[in-house]
Amino acid sequence: MQIPQDAALLRIFIGENDRADGHPLYEAIVLKARAEGLAGATVVRGPMGFGHSSHLHTSKILRLSEDLPLIVEIVDDEARINAFLPVLDKLMGSGLVTIEKVKVLRYGEGKT
């Protein structure tokens, strides 16, 4: 699979406790992106953050270390990202979703 040099980055900001059909939402998003044939997805866990509710989520205080922020990033052709948005909408409740244009410099096998 190839990604065009001019592509799109889909960023999905959610929490660890967010669920889709009883499963972690981040897992459901990644598995659905794979099933839809998108180029790849990565989940990044944040040590601190807050969102719409302004409730602070941090790993510094033991009792607040649950529901840490997560970011799911997916890079692919802009049309494929846009086609995935209705699928994503069915999975998600709350959260933040952004899209930005990116330039792909390398994808796939390279020097090891």
Q: pLDDT (tens digit, 9 = 90+) per residue, 50-108? A: 777 666 666 665 555 567 899 999 999 999 999 999 999 999 988 999 999 999 998 88
User: Is 53 within the bounds of a domain?
Assistant: yes
For 59, the token pair is 């790993």
Mean pLDDT of the region 46-53:
76
Structural domains in the chain (count): 1
pLDDT in tens, 11-43: 999 999 999 999 999 999 999 999 999 999 999
User: Is 109 within the bounds of a domain?
Assistant: no
User: Is 108 within the bounds of a domain?
Assistant: no
CA 53: distance to chain centroid? 20
User: Is 110 within the bounds of a domain?
Assistant: no
Which residue segment(s) compose the domain that 60 sits in? 6-103
User: Is 34 within the bounds of a domain?
Assistant: yes
**pTM of the complete model:** 0.86
User: Is 81 within the bounds of a domain?
Assistant: yes
**Residue in 44, 32, 33, 46 with CA at minimum distance from that of residue 1:** 33
Split at pLDDT 50, 70, 90, the class of 9 is very high
pLDDT value of residue 94: 86
Please give the residue that has the higher pLDDT: either 1 or 91: 91
CATH number of the domain where residue 69 is located:
3.30.70.120
User: Is 111 within the bounds of a domain?
Assistant: no
pLDDT value of residue 48: 79
User: Is 1 within the bounds of a domain?
Assistant: no
